[in-house]
Chains A and B, each alone.
Chain A
């Protein structure tokens, strides 16, 4: 049995790993009880499990837990504060970019990963990122509207 140490939303954790297939998503959901990241496909195709790993948006269902050793992770649970929701969360709420909500944390973290690096991406960059996640409910219109609102606000800041 191996052991990893990782920082999640600013808190350091040491986690014992079982034998066999064990992913970062399993660590987050089962060990740390951070259930905001969701299991959707196990293959990195739907993005419901998206989190930030050392500044990059990754599908945590395809990151072996051992590879998260020493890494800094941010999840959906780590981006709001007492001062309020993160602007991306607020924009999703305002635009009704939420239906069943199962893909929502993944979309928000995908966008968070992009905008932390580049607060005002162009449309092509935005589309390329959002293309990585699946939503079966909204038809994407409201998600795109929410993202554009955040970007417009970033531009005005």
Chain B
């Protein structure tokens, strides 16, 4: 049904100001009408369907696969199994086969793929494949897996192709990455401290649980070129990975990304794509489609978190922090490529936004027999900042000093250094202002501690997040202007709900000083035509994409001026551009419209001067390096966003049920480009964080298979779990390097939800919790003990 634009677009919301205005989302119409296309919606000619046989074994040798019966079934085109143990993929650590060969390392691993005319035929066929296994001991606990006598999951650990500078495997063990940070003499600092506390923590594995399951369609043409449609945040990474895996040039691989139904890191780097491409290589000419079931999203895509940690802090009697020691073991699953950088980041950010004069951090990325772990919103920050914010709360109780006072004394602010040794400046943000904002918001209700039915409590936690990225991470923007002066811009930021396309449009309109109605942002990505972008992760699209847009727009304006100068017979520097036209301020009233200059200027007789306005903008976050292998320090973070979160809760005395009465978040994202989408990021991040805090956890059966493999058994927040009240406050300290002062904010609202709530539980009940989630049963147990 065609609905005229004027009937749903509220012009006043799209034209009054650009940057800083609550524009309607440009993708909302397609999404509210159900016409937005996602990977699973796509159908192609001659398309076949795949179903995957999963091993169901946590760790086993594959002795024999019998596909003969399945091959004879109706509608079946091909049964694919693994054969070449050298065929591995990865971006930085090449340790994963697209399909199991010789051995299966987790129960969700692919052992065989049936390719058939319909999904039904493919699903029927995999049930007829018989596999003989020799079961091996398996291990799920990362501390046990890291022990020298643990069963070895990868015999070749330490010998895979990998980046040597940032990845540090321990051959002969399951530790595929040991990140260590040594910042000054921590032992001396602890000796000098008045008080030392030490605790152990658990942040379990969880599912990103984007509502869209992973999907991919891949076609090999008869010349061996690859075309792929995928639900993925990293089109150019997939392209590079497939290029190495199949040993063909990236120019022969074309990756399309339509709308993405949520990512949260679970669709970043690569997940199902190498498997689908591997299967499709056996049926050239046919696109092969795979849409994961929800069970497979749990068992066979990526999981997040999974940390067992220990933290020790030392402080003076007055509450000045003196030293930090932290040890984190990550249950990173069967393959390590997507998790090793998360481990590094978890390590050097585990101080949270607090200054520790000395620190020693050891993080172990450990192979375990569960699905591989990858990025998950917050990228290692929630794990470490959970620990440090709980530790400060415990320290405050020990010293009988209000925790906000301890926080205030130790905040990372101007002239202080973080664990990496980087110095903070005022433009990095107003952390104390964020703390004040949350204290103010929660002060309104802070009077009551108990009534007949409930216990009440308040908790606070401060946060920081820095984007982790490849040191060369860039964004690009293609800009082309048509003969009417209308503009197409194309970036490779994946629109996965965060609203980057809307923000791109606002920033382009601002930079070109033209109405948004004259600009169109490409909604899909095609690596053959879209500009190179590292990937859509780390909350970087507004920041990096915005700078690329500014670059492209400035080049376009410069070209318009150059074209005008040729006509006006002056220097381009003398030409003024005002969004409508170009003119020479001192040369009378001759105004040349943008439309007349967009393809060069044509005189009446057709003679054309100047150049077509088509530009490319790029931006790379400058000066980023990987941490030094010995000290773990260096300029590994390009920017920081600071913030504070606080929870006011009540706990039902009988049932132990926790209700979030008020959740306050204050962030300093430099400049808010769109207040409506920014608030949506915060409310969404907070509720996702409440899931991890109160209910979400991957559980395993005795045989190592995941127990809770669908929504329902895997509990996650619904409407009734929303806080009764949200406060969202943005402080806007302009970031000197960001577009209009903006910096990242998308992941940040999830980072310290758990410690804020657990500190509130401590306030309400007197009980300290160190593991997540904290359920009503845990509360009942704690109350019963007292």
Residues on A lying within 8 angstroms of B by beta carbon are 18-22, 29, 33-43, 45-46, 48, 75-77, 80-85, 89-90, 92-94, 96, 98-105, 108, 127, 130-131, 134-144
Q: Which of B686, B716, B718 has the most CB of A within 10 A?
A: B718
- In contact, A138 and B41 (Cβ under 8 angstroms): no
* Segment from B32-40, B153-161, B389-397, B613-621 that makes contact with A: B32-40
Tell me the bound Cα distance from A68 to B209 in angstroms. 29
Tell me the interface secondary structure of chain B in the complex.
Answer: loop
Does B293 make an interface contact (CB < 8 A)?
yes
Residue B427, interface by CB 8 Å: no
Provide the residues of chain B in CB contact with A94, threshold 8 Å: 10, 24
The minimal Cβ–Cβ distance linking A151 to chain B, given in whole angstroms, is 15
Known: A42-B294, A139-B684. A98 touches B28 (CB 8 A): yes
- B689: shortest Cβ distance to chain A, in Å? 10
Closest Cβ of chain A: how far from B438's Cβ, in Å? 17
Chain B: minimal CB distance from A16 (Å): 12
A102 touches B262 (CB 8 A): yes
Provide the bound-state CA to CA distance between A141 and B683, in Å.
7
List the A side residues contacting B31 at CB < 8 Å.
98, 101, 104
Does chain A have a CB within 8 A of B498?
yes
Which residues from A are CB-within-8-Å of B201? none
Task: Determine which residue in B35, B291, B719 has the highest number of CB atoms from chain A within 10 A of its CB, and name it.
Answer: B719
Given contacts A18-B118, A76-B34, A144-B719, contact A101 B683 (CB under 8 A): no
| Closest Cβ–Cβ distance, residue A47 to chain B (whole Å) | 9
**Of residues B22, B30, B210, B259, which shows the largest number of chain A Cβ atoms within 10 Å of its Cβ?**
B210
Interface centre among B28, B676, B687 (most CB of A within 10 A): B28
Chain A residues in 8 Å Cβ range of B34: 34-37, 75-77, 104-105
Residue B82 is within 8 A (CB to CB) of chain A in the complex: no
Query: What 9 pairs between A and B have smallest CB-CB spacing?
Result: A36-B34, A101-B31, A102-B261, A100-B497, A99-B497, A139-B683, A76-B34, A139-B687, A45-B711
Most buried by A among B8, B32, B496, B717: B32
Q: Known contacts being A46-B711, A134-B711, is A101 close to B8, with CB within 8 Å?
A: no
Which A residues touch B677, using CB under 8 A? 96
* Beta-carbon nearest neighbor of A104 in chain B: B31
B32 x A98 contact (CB < 8 A): yes
Chain B, range 22-56, C-beta contacts under 8 Å to A = 22, 24-25, 27-38, 40-41, 43
By a CB distance below 8 angstroms, the chain B residues around A99 are 262, 497-499, 680, 684
B2 at the interface (CB under 8 A from A): yes
Given contacts A84-B3, A131-B719, contact A138 B680 (CB under 8 A): yes
Residue of B nearest to A21 (CB): B120
Contacting A at CB under 8 A, from B690-733, are 710-712, 716-720, 722, 726
A76 touching B3, Cβ below 8 Å: no
Per the bound structure, the CA–CA distance linking A2 and B165 in Å amounts to 62
Q: How far is the CA of A51 from the CA of B317 in the complex (A)?
A: 63
Which residue on chain A has the smallest CB distance to residue B212? A102
A127-B718 Cα distance, complex, nearest whole Å: 10
Q: Is the CB of B261 within 8 A of A38?
A: yes
Q: Which residues of A lie under 8 Å from residue B260 when comparing CB positions?
A: 100
Contact of B211 with A by CB under 8 A: yes
Contact A46-B211, Cβ < 8 Å, known A93-B28, A138-B680: yes
Q: Closest A-chain residue to B726, C-beta based?
A: A141
Chain A residues near B2: list those with CB within 8 A. Answer: 82
Contacts of B716 in A (CB 8 A): 134, 136
How far apart sit A89 and B24, CA to CA, in the bound complex (Å)?
A: 13
Give how many B residues have a beta carbon under 8 Å from the other chain's beta carbons: 68
Whether B62 is near chain A, meaning CB under 8 Å from some CB there, is no
Chain A, residue nearest B231 (CB)? A102
- The chain B residue with its CB closest to the CB of A78 is B1
- Contact: B259 with A101, CB < 8 Å? yes
A131 near B718 (CB under 8 angstroms)? yes
Which residue of A41, A82, A139 contacts B1 across the interface (Cβ within 8 Å)?
A: A82
Given A82-B1, A142-B683, A89 and B718 contact (CB-CB distance below 8 Å): no
Could you list 9 further interchain pairs (A-B, Cβ under 8 angstroms) beyond the known A77-B1, A93-B25?
Answer: A18-B120, A38-B212, A40-B213, A92-B32, A96-B24, A100-B210, A136-B264, A136-B716, A140-B719
Contact of B710 (CB < 8 Å), options: A38, A43, A98: A43
- Per the bound structure, the CA–CA distance linking A77 and B559 in Å amounts to 44
B33 and A77 contact, CB distance less than 8 A: yes
Instruction: Give Cα A127–Cα B721 distance, bound, in whole angstroms.
Output: 11
Report the bound CA distance from A60 to B243 in whole Å: 40
In the complex, are the beta carbons of A134 and B718 less than 8 A apart?
A: yes
Q: Is B541 an interface residue (CB 8 A)?
A: no
> What are 23 residue pairs bridging A and B, where the CB atoms are less than 8 Å apart in the complex?
A19-B120, A34-B34, A35-B41, A37-B34, A38-B40, A42-B294, A43-B294, A43-B710, A45-B710, A46-B211, A85-B7, A90-B8, A96-B28, A96-B677, A108-B32, A131-B719, A131-B720, A135-B211, A136-B684, A137-B684, A139-B684, A141-B726, A142-B683
Within 8 Å by CB of B722, from A33, A36, A102, A140, lies A140
A141 to B213, CA, bound (A): 24
